[in-house]
């Protein structure tokens, strides 16, 4: 497996575009995106666990359940959530607008073959009229395929400060297969999933069931292990489309081909998840929490999430304060049994590693060394549960800064 360029346009048979149509009048950035396959795709999706769900989630869940998609249309600037029946009609209209102007090798595209995604302010009606005005230019922009990934990625960003996309390739049965992806997410991020739009494209020939299995495995070990601020969104959407253009031996069951695909997808998603945590609203540091030695991987994940989600741990990270007691405290209120007297904690970064807690008690260390280690842009909190278990998991988060409060104090404007 290796990294390649092109993002969602790297796999054969995919195009993308992004334009500005004025969904949020105060913004001059692109705000409407389209990803299209030249032929119908096997499709799978993972959506928010929030009981309050945006219209786009309701519509896309319905369309993805049929197992076949040709395109995704997405907007920023408006979440189209908590907008009632009018919002649902607007989401369906977005799918229809795209379908009416697209065709694939199999013929016309139906509205049911188009997924919809939205992100932005909750509780504000989506101005579907500006989407109608902008759809022609959006479809026309598909011809500029070399720029399509970046344009579409810009169009789904909100408070993101960095573009988060990538692509990898691997081999299945001696045939090169490509997987591309893009995500947006910066705030209102907490498992499961993060506030988050994510789109995966692949030219792999893989069945819908195997694609769904691989996507859920990748999401569990990547996007479901990101936390910025403890809030779970109404709009979380992760979609994967596979068009089979690589013409590899079909992946229809588990085995070597499936494992090659699933491992490459997971690697891509982990990279995108880390990029989301690094771009957390107001963040100055990427924080990785790794727990080892738990009875099971699930236990390690719960413990790591508890630490990464702690506002006190995140604030200490911002201040480069080696306050390891906050780490033990966060472990202690997680719903996992362990022996506090068998826990060791290390802080690590490119500046080195320091043991701060050994067997549940203080270890002798230099405060100056610890502060230097914790002042780097990427820091790690390494927790060893010395109980003889093999369970291990990493969770990604960021520090909690004054800038986070400033950004969210006037988000609607």
Catalytic residue among 119, 195, 201, 237: 195
Query: Whole-angstrom Cα distance, residue 89 to residue 74?
Result: 15
And the tokens for 255?
A: 């085995």
Q: How does DSSP classify residue 226?
A: B
Helical H segments across 101-207, by residue range: 128-140, 148-156
The Cα–Cα gap between 276 and 393 comes to 18
Largest CA distance in the chain: 70
- Give residues with Cβ within 8 angstroms of 85, minimum separation 6: none
What kind and span of H or E run contains 96? helix 84-100
How many other CB atoms sit within 10 Å of the CB of residue 19?
21
Which of helix, strand or coil describes residue 40?
strand
The separation between CA 99 and the C-alpha centre of its own chain, rounded to angstroms, equals: 26
Go through the chain and tell me how many residues it has. Answer: 413
* Pairwise CA distance, residues 300 & 393, whole Å: 5
Contact present, 58 and 91 (Cβ < 8 Å): yes
- Three-state DSSP state, 314: helix
Q: What's the first-to-final CA gap in the chain, in angstroms?
A: 44
**Which residue's structure tokens are 């201040």?**
319
Enter the DSSP assignment of 206: B
CA distance 86 to 330: 43
Active site residue 195: yes
> In angstroms, rounded to a whole number, what is the distance separating the alpha carbons of residues 165 and 221?
18
Distance in angstroms (rounded) separating the CA atoms of residues 196 and 218: 15
Residues carrying an active site annotation? 195
């Amino acid at each position: 497996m290796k990294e390649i360029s092109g993002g969602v346009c790297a796999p054969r048979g995919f195009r993308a575009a992004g334009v500005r149509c004025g969904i949020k009048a105060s913004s001059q950035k692109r705000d409407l995106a389209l990803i299209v396959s030249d032929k119908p795709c096997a499709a799978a999706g993972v959506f928010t666990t929030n009981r309050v769900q945006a219209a786009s989630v309701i519509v896309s869940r319905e369309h993805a359940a049929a197992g076949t998609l040709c395109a995704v249309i997405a907007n920023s600037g408006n979440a189209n959530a908590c907008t009632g029946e009018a919002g649902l009609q607007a989401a369906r209209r977005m799918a229809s607008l795209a379908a009416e102007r697209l065709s694939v090798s199999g013929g016309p595209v139906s509205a049911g073959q188009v997924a919809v995604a939205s992100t932005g302010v909750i509780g504000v009606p989506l101005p579907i009229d500006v989407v109608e005005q902008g759809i022609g230019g959006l479809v026309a922009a598909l011809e500029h395929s070399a720029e399509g990934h970046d344009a579409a990625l810009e169009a789904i960003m909100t408070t993101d400060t960095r573009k988060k996309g990538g692509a990898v390739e691997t081999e299945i049965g001696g045939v090169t297969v490509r997987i591309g992806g893009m995500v947006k997410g910066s705030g209102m991020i907490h498992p499961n999933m993060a506030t988050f739009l994510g789109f995966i494209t692949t030219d792999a020939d893989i069945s819908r069931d195997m694609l769904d299995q691989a996507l859920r495995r990748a999401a569990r070990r990547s996007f479901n292990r990101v936390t910025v601020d403890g809030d779970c969104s109404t709009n979380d959407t992760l979609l994967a489309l596979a068009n089979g253009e690589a013409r590899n031996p079909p992946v229809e069951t588990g085995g070597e081909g499936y494992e090659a695909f699933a491992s490459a997808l997971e690697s891509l998603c982990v990279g995108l998840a880390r990029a989301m945590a690094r771009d957390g609203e107001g963040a100055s540091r990427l924080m990785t929490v790794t727990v080892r030695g738990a009875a099971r991987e699930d236990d390690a994940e719960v413990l790591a999430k508890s630490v990464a989600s702690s506002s006190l741990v995140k604030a200490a990270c911002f201040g480069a304060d080696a306050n390891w007691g906050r780490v033990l405290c966060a472990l202690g209120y997680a719903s996992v049994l362990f022996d506090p007297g068998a826990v060791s904690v290390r802080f690590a970064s490119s500046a080195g590693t320091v043991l701060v807690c050994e067997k549940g008690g203080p270890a002798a260390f230099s405060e100056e060394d610890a502060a230097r280690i914790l002042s780097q842009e990427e820091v790690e909190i390494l927790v060893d549960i010395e109980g003889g278990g093999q369970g291990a998991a990493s969770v990604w988060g960021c520090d909690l800064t004054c800038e986070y409060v400033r950004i969210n104090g006037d988000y609607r404007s």
